[in-house]
Chain A
């Protein structure tokens, strides 16, 4: 029997035509696996925020989904530019998004705090200019 199930999605910088595909596929997959819909909802919100963060703020990156039967891991990694002050970025309402992005309805500064709220465990590490890594764990 398979111990884990894994999927990887590449997320392009500023690629709004495919942004949202990863979280949509994650949602569909979890539904087919029979994961409880309230957990799927939290993962949907968190992975969508994560995906949009990579598309908007980074130079591109990837999202990994890993399920081990008890827990679901959503891990993201981007290729820079990194977050200077992670504590500040975790504050609700704080955002570096420019005018153009805000016009699109993003960049309200709720992304990271929201992701933390949705996940059972949340880890973030960031280095300038290498990039940001986020690990979110959801208990099934």
Chain B
């Protein structure tokens, strides 16, 4: 198994070793060590919560740079639907898309196009005889990873279709190879990403993502945004838009669900809220539900940590744009979607692996013993979850201690107690009288 790799990285010079990311991480994947935040790779789901909350902007996501355009004969920019929401309403979608070509891309394919296809195909997916309900959206890679790590029993509930990003890339590559007579490797498909989780999926960094991505690289929205702005004034727009309003609304929570309006649906955003509902699904409470759409970022992709615009303003913008283009015609037909679906073209290629947390010990008896030790240690800790020990809460420190990754005196309260006892002992010892010394309050006479 190759090393885990996440797109979330730390700029050590900016990290103050505070406990903000520590306490906000939904999978308790962060510890502060040597005064800097570190990530426990097997627990991180790339949700980007730490990037969002870091007051010093020390957390970021590794994405590619525009230099990558040089690596391919033919390059395609694939903007996430959210990209459009970063711009003022009076700038047309076509103008924004044309700006990508000005930057140097040979072509632009909107992910909103693939989103429309995947959205429509959900109907067929729900009709399937073997479907396990509730069917769970696989659009947000952070949520898929959360399920792998924390709710592995729910993996069979995941939609078996690929995300709009992958589908758009598959369609584009297939068409361009034919049209331009190019080999697959000559074409560079670059996703314009609103989040860290997508960037991680693309590079197949994580071994529990078995599937090869059809996308070659990613550039963050916030990185390309100023470049696009520079070009906007001086361009003549081309007619490049292939997406309709139906595809664009995938950018916010409920967009995917809007394709199956007759069904019983819950859509939730914010990773902590998603966890709450997945717990309920795991408890068997929602077996009547048809579909669960969970997105890690508040607002959905418009709230991605690599976007520029305020989440709720972006959401308003995308809703307006979507309403405007609602009935826009494109080449997507019901027949085409059925064909894509039946042929398996939309299916996820690889298996979604289970990646449950490492047990306290491979031997259950030993694990039970460690669990008891953990309870006992937790009892000696103050229970105020201050994070000064570098673990997110007292329970997590107790767990780290039994796993051999921390020590009891990492807790400043335990340490203080120990110093206190030691100082008492030192005082007592200092009062001790050795035989060659005279004891206090005793006379000088020798008996």
Binding site for B on A (CB under 8 A): 1-2, 4-5, 20, 23-24, 27, 29, 31-35, 37-38, 40-41, 44-45, 48-49, 67, 69, 105, 114, 140
Contacts and interface: CB of A to CB of B under 8 A. Distances in A.
Contact of A34 (B285, B354, B364, B399): B364
Given A32-B399, A69-B365, 14 more contacts: A1-B365, A1-B369, A31-B357, A32-B360, A33-B359, A33-B371, A34-B364, A37-B354, A37-B356, A38-B153, A44-B284, A48-B284, A105-B285, A140-B364
Contacts of B152: 37
B368 interface: yes
B103 interface: no
Nearest to B367: A33
Of the listed residues B356, B360, B368, B369, the one surrounded by the most CB atoms of chain A closer than 10 A to its CB is: B368
A2 B356 CA distance: 24
Interface string B33-73: 00000000000000000000000000000000000000000
B368 A4 contact: yes
A42 B354 CA distance: 17
Given A1-B366, A2-B369, A40-B153, A31 B356 contact: yes
B324 interface: no
Given A24-B279, A48-B284, A32 B371 contact: yes
Contacts of B283: 20, 23, 44-45, 48
Nearest to B154: A41
Contact of B368 (A33, A44, A105): A33
Sorted nearest first, the 5 A-B pairs with minimum C-beta distance are A34-B359, A45-B284, A5-B368, A48-B283, A41-B153
A67 B368 contact: yes
A16 B362 CA distance: 36
A32 B375 CA distance: 13
Nearest to A31: B357
29 contacts: A1-B369, A2-B372, A5-B368, A5-B372, A23-B283, A27-B282, A29-B371, A31-B356, A31-B357, A32-B357, A32-B359, A32-B367, A33-B364, A33-B368, A33-B371, A34-B359, A35-B364, A37-B153, A37-B354, A38-B153, A41-B153, A44-B283, A45-B284, A48-B283, A48-B285, A67-B364, A67-B368, A69-B365, A140-B364
A2 B372 CA distance: 8
B282 A44 contact: yes
Interface string B273-285: 0000001001111
Contacts of B359: 31-34
A33 B360 contact: yes
B361 A5 contact: no
Contacts of A67: 364, 368
Contacts of A24: 279
Given A37-B152, A40-B153, A45-B284, A69 B368 contact: yes
Which of B283, B354, B356, B362 is packed against the most chain A CB atoms within 10 Å? B283
Nearest to B354: A37
Contacts of A33: 359-360, 364, 367-368, 371
A122 to B, nearest CB: 16
Contacts of B399: 32
Contacts of B356: 31, 37
A5 B153 contact: no
Interface string B365-390: 11111011000000000000000000
Contacts of B362: 34
B70 to A, nearest CB: 46
B51 to A, nearest CB: 26
A99 to B, nearest CB: 19
B365 to A, nearest CB: 5
- The residue among A1, A2, A69 with the most chain B CB atoms within 10 A of its own CB is A2
Nearest to A38: B153
B361 A34 contact: yes
Given A44-B283, A48-B285, A114-B284, A69 B371 contact: no
A140 B368 CA distance: 14
Nearest to A108: B288
A2 B368 contact: yes
Nearest to A48: B283
Contacts of A1: 365-366, 369
Nearest to A34: B359
Contacts of B372: 2, 5
B137 to A, nearest CB: 20
Give the most central of B285, B357, B360: most A CB within 10 Å.
Answer: B285
A2 B285 CA distance: 34
A140 B359 CA distance: 15
Given A29-B371, A31-B357, A34-B359, A41 B365 contact: no
Contacts of A20: 283
A44 B283 CA distance: 5
Nearest to B395: A28
